[in-house]
Amino acid sequence: MTNLDSLQKAINAVGGQHALAKICKTSQPRIWNWLNRDKKLPAEYVLIIEKATGVPRNELRSDLYPLEDHNQVA
């Protein structure tokens, strides 16, 4: 699953782009832009969307929140 797939999953979880825009205190066209133009969720919205939807931050922006490798020896 890509980061954009996860963003779409979050959109679906709250009932659409308008609903997510309200949660993020932004506009629906901006949500559309994240999906279709920017191809990336801005960092400042990751934790808000994670809290509202349950979609993990590492799925929304894996470049900012990579999964920790627990098998790595320190």
pLDDT reported for residue 56: 97
At 15-74, the pLDDT tens digits run: 999 999 999 999 999 999 999 999 999 999 999 999 999 999 999 999 999 987 545 554
In this structure, the dihedral spanned by the alpha carbons of residues 32, 46, 60 and 40, taken in order and rounded to 10 degrees, is 40
What are the boundaries of each domain within the chain?
A: 3-60
Q: Which of 74, 53, 49, 51 is nearest to 61 (CA)?
A: 49
pLDDT reported for residue 20: 98
3-60 placed in CATH 1.10.260.40: yes
pLDDT reported for residue 74: 47
User: Which residues, in sequence order, are CB contacts of 58 under 8 Å at separation 6+?
Assistant: 65, 66, 67
Residue 39 is encoded by which pair of tokens? 């191809």
pLDDT reported for residue 73: 52
pLDDT reported for residue 71: 53
